[in-house]
Chains A and B, each alone.
Chain A
Amino acid sequence: MSANQAITHVPAHELSKKLVSKEISSVELTRAFLDSIQSSNDALGSFLHVSSEAALEDARHADQLLGQKGAKDLHPLCGIPIGIKDIICTQDIPTTGASRILKDFIPPYDATVVAHIRSIGGVRIGKTNCDEFAMGSSNENSAYRPCHNPWNVQHVPGGSSGGSAAAVSARQTPISLGTDTGGSIRQPAALCGIVGLKPTYGRVSRFGSMAFASSLDQIGPMTHCTQDAALALDAISRPCSKDATYQHKPYCYNPDHLSASIKGQTLGVPWTFIQGYANEDVLENFKKQIDFYASQGVTIKTIELPHQRFASACYYILAPAEASSNLLRYDGIRYTHQTKDKESLEAIFVNSRTEGFGLEVQRRILLGTFVLSAGYFDAYYTKARKVRALIRQDFDQAFEDVDIIATPTTPTQAFALGAKTKNPMDMYHADIFTVATPLAGNPAISIPSGFTDKSLPLGLQLTAKHFDEARLFAFGSAHEQAFDHHQKVPVI
């Protein structure tokens, strides 16, 4: 292991101890991660923009804080680099949403989560690649370049937060932020062998995150381990007055959440649904995880979520409907790409949008416009809203009997680049196990659960009641005590 790897392979909570004890400075640590990015970003494409100057400025500021009295009372992520998905606004740092339409956009403000990171002394190391406007499950919809899976660069990292996942997996940053609308944190986390947390809807402010589907979007952390996810959630879930849906329930980190006993708790498994979609490798791996929890004194109970089979259809009505409305702001007039063909006002709108949006974004805008159009609104949009209520009821009823619901995070391991790009429906099925949770608003975490015989990572998804992320951390931490999947590092 090189001197740099001795730093970059360490999880954030341990790096924090080194910073507080002055074993290393934030500037040294940040330079190590910048070097790591430089050495592997050509191969991976995980970062769209490396903000070296801002990172070193933040690191110097963190070192000042850490040098003062009371350094032990600082937030444990003070001085720690954090990658930020390129859909989250960063003041004076380019933010494109991985879209051509925002090619030269430099936000005049920070998203609330970024402001919180800066306020605790976190280090903005760069903007991570993603599917354009977070629409996709493979990161192949980035307008700039695809991102590659660090475990096998011929495979996708998942999406839409593929760059955030690949960057943590490849040890280019100890933590990154992603956004999850239908699985965009958990699915790439699983495919890259890291931890990914989708918090409860309303736990984290969405202010400054480019809106895809506002009733579903949620920002969350992607990390090496559960403890780092808990620390990051503490940092980003702090108050915000600029998001109408922020629920004023910040998560307060408590090490007891990680060490809490899971013995005697009940874990629900919707076996019928899982067996209908998971491939053989995934199913075999999933059964081992359930056996593990049973061995820890957790009661395993088979449950039914009767409307989960409608979740994907429901999602692909509601999310595009909201997207078609949200993306109307990109009209070529105020701050986005503007066409050179300006023969009429209509031509400015149509040409700017057609030139600026990629194929998948256009597909979803078309679909969303259709389901909201007169004559189809009730049959699709209104019906989907009602089905969403049923899906939420299913979860609420299940949680009357169980503490946690477990499924595989994904139906398959990471697939090859290009394997699903020709058929959108194939791609949409990649998030079959993750789309229901955002519809219901519950928190869910993906933790590394092992590897296929071709060394591709797999993930276990755990879902809890609203605002019960602490229980996810307890179950995740118990798993990490028994297995070392989260410590495995890909060779690039």
Chain B
Amino acid sequence: MPDFTKDDLQKVAQLSKLRLIDQDIEQRLKEFKDVLSHIDTLSQADVSQIQNPSIAGLTLNPDQPHQSFQINKALDNATDPQPPFFTIPKFMTSKGPA
């Protein structure tokens, strides 16, 4: 098991686009380490005979275009629909991203 630290967890949270609350981080770190300890049991498995781990027998259907729903319908759940677009909060400035 890697020596996993609070900083490591913060880095993973950053990659995950999540924010950890400081007062929770000890508990979250403990939980994370418990799960890592569990999944680390896989290190005991001998996988030397497996060259290709793809799912045997599963064939994938071709990805073909098909008629979908109309734009207005697709925008129904947008926060601020402006058919045929939807607006998002301003995040660019003249100097680049805010």
Binding site for B on A (CB under 8 A): 104-106, 108-109, 201-202, 215, 241-248, 307, 309-310, 312-314, 316-317, 324, 328, 331, 333-335, 338, 342-346, 348-351, 353-354, 357, 362-363, 365-367, 369-371, 373, 376, 379-380, 382-390, 392, 423-425, 428, 441, 466
**Residue from A202, A353, A370 with most neighbouring chain B CB atoms (10 Å):** A370
Of B12, B39, B43, B79, the residue contacting A369 (CB under 8 A) is B12
Residue-wise, chain B 22-65 has the 8 Å CB interface mask toward A (1 for contact) of: 00000010011011001111111101011011011111111110
In the complex formed, the residue of A with least CB distance to B41 is A313
Cross-chain contact B31 with A363 (CB below 8 angstroms): yes
Cross-chain contact B78 with A317 (CB below 8 angstroms): no
Instruction: Tell me, in angstroms, the Cα distance from A173 to B78 when the chains sit together.
Output: 33
Instruction: Tell me, in angstroms, the Cα distance from A424 to B56 when the chains sit together.
Output: 32
Cross-chain contact A350 with B55 (CB below 8 angstroms): no
Interfacial chain A residues near B34, Cβ < 8 Å:
423-425
Does B95 sit at the interface, judged by CB under 8 A?
A: no
In the complex formed, the residue of B with least CB distance to A385 is B53
Sample of 21 A–B contacts (CB below 8 Å)? A108-B69, A244-B60, A244-B63, A245-B60, A307-B45, A310-B44, A313-B38, A313-B39, A313-B40, A334-B78, A338-B79, A342-B89, A343-B98, A346-B17, A363-B28, A366-B28, A387-B45, A389-B52, A390-B49, A425-B35, A428-B38
Of B32, B55, B77, the residue contacting A366 (CB under 8 A) is B32
Q: Given A108-B73, A345-B98, A367-B35, answer yes or no on A383-B19 (Cβ-Cβ < 8 Å).
A: no
In the complex formed, the residue of A with least CB distance to B90 is A342
Cross-chain contact A380 with B42 (CB below 8 angstroms): yes
**Residue from A215, A241, A387 with most neighbouring chain B CB atoms (10 Å):** A387
Instruction: Tell me, in angstroms, the Cα distance from A382 to B28 when the chains sit together.
Output: 25
In the complex formed, the residue of A with least CB distance to B40 is A313
Interfacial chain A residues near B91, Cβ < 8 Å:
342, 344-345, 348
Binding site for A on B (CB under 8 A): 2, 9, 12-13, 15-19, 28, 31-32, 34-35, 38-45, 47, 49-50, 52-53, 55-64, 66, 69, 73-74, 76-79, 86, 88-89, 91, 97-98
Cross-chain contact B16 with A384 (CB below 8 angstroms): no
Instruction: Tell me, in angstroms, the Cα distance from A215 to B58 when the chains sit together.
Output: 10
In the complex formed, the residue of B with least CB distance to A105 is B77
Cross-chain contact A350 with B19 (CB below 8 angstroms): yes
In the complex formed, the residue of A with least CB distance to B92 is A345
In the complex formed, the residue of A with least CB distance to B16 is A369
Instruction: Tell me, in angstroms, the Cα distance from A458 to B79 when the chains sit together.
Output: 45
In the complex formed, the residue of A with least CB distance to B48 is A386
Instruction: Name the distance in Å between B26's Cβ and chain A's nearest Cβ.
Output: 14
Cross-chain contact B61 with A246 (CB below 8 angstroms): yes
Cross-chain contact B61 with A243 (CB below 8 angstroms): yes
In the complex formed, the residue of B with least CB distance to A354 is B19
Instruction: Tell me, in angstroms, the Cα distance from A312 to B39 when the chains sit together.
Output: 8
Interfacial chain A residues near B59, Cβ < 8 Å:
247
Of A334, A369, A428, the residue contacting B86 (CB under 8 A) is A334
Cross-chain contact A215 with B45 (CB below 8 angstroms): no
Of A105, A348, A380, the residue contacting B89 (CB under 8 A) is A348
Cross-chain contact A366 with B39 (CB below 8 angstroms): no
Instruction: Name the distance in Å between A88's Cβ and chain B's nearest Cβ.
Output: 17
Instruction: Name the distance in Å between B39's Cβ and chain A's nearest Cβ.
Output: 5
Instruction: Tell me, in angstroms, the Cα distance from A202 to B74 when the chains sit together.
Output: 27
In the complex formed, the residue of B with least CB distance to A330 is B17
Cross-chain contact A376 with B61 (CB below 8 angstroms): no
Q: Given A317-B39, A388-B53, answer yes or no on A357-B89 (Cβ-Cβ < 8 Å).
A: no
Instruction: Tell me, in angstroms, the Cα distance from A383 to B52 when the chains sit together.
Output: 11
Instruction: Tell me, in angstroms, the Cα distance from A307 to B2 when the chains sit together.
Output: 24
Cross-chain contact A370 with B19 (CB below 8 angstroms): no
Instruction: Tell me, in angstroms, the Cα distance from A351 to B20 when the chains sit together.
Output: 11
Cross-chain contact B97 with A310 (CB below 8 angstroms): no
Q: Given A244-B63, A386-B50, answer yes or no on A349-B17 (Cβ-Cβ < 8 Å).
A: yes
Instruction: Tell me, in angstroms, the Cα distance from A310 to B91 when the chains sit together.
Output: 46
Instruction: Tell me, in angstroms, the Cα distance from A476 to B18 when the chains sit together.
Output: 45
Cross-chain contact A365 with B38 (CB below 8 angstroms): no
Cross-chain contact B12 with A390 (CB below 8 angstroms): no
Instruction: Tell me, in angstroms, the Cα distance from A31 to B6 when the chains sit together.
Output: 55
Cross-chain contact B50 with A390 (CB below 8 angstroms): yes
Given contacts A385-B53, A425-B38, 16 further A-B contacts (CB under 8 A): A106-B76, A201-B58, A246-B61, A309-B41, A328-B17, A334-B77, A348-B91, A363-B31, A366-B12, A366-B32, A369-B12, A376-B2, A386-B47, A386-B53, A388-B53, A390-B50
Q: Given A241-B64, A370-B12, A380-B42, answer yes or no on A202-B58 (Cβ-Cβ < 8 Å).
A: yes
Interfacial chain A residues near B19, Cβ < 8 Å:
350-351, 354
Instruction: Name the distance in Å between B85's Cβ and chain A's nearest Cβ.
Output: 11
**Residue from B2, B17, B73 with most neighbouring chain A CB atoms (10 Å):** B17
Interfacial chain B residues near A371, Cβ < 8 Å:
39
Instruction: Name the distance in Å between B29's Cβ and chain A's nearest Cβ.
Output: 11
Interfacial chain B residues near A382, Cβ < 8 Å:
53
Instruction: Name the distance in Å between A117's Cβ and chain B's nearest Cβ.
Output: 19
Instruction: Tell me, in angstroms, the Cα distance from A241 to B66 when the chains sit together.
Output: 9
Q: Given A108-B73, A242-B66, A367-B32, answer yes or no on A390-B45 (Cβ-Cβ < 8 Å).
A: yes
Q: Which 7 A-B pairs have the closest CB atoms?
A: A335-B77, A386-B47, A385-B53, A345-B91, A386-B50, A342-B89, A108-B73
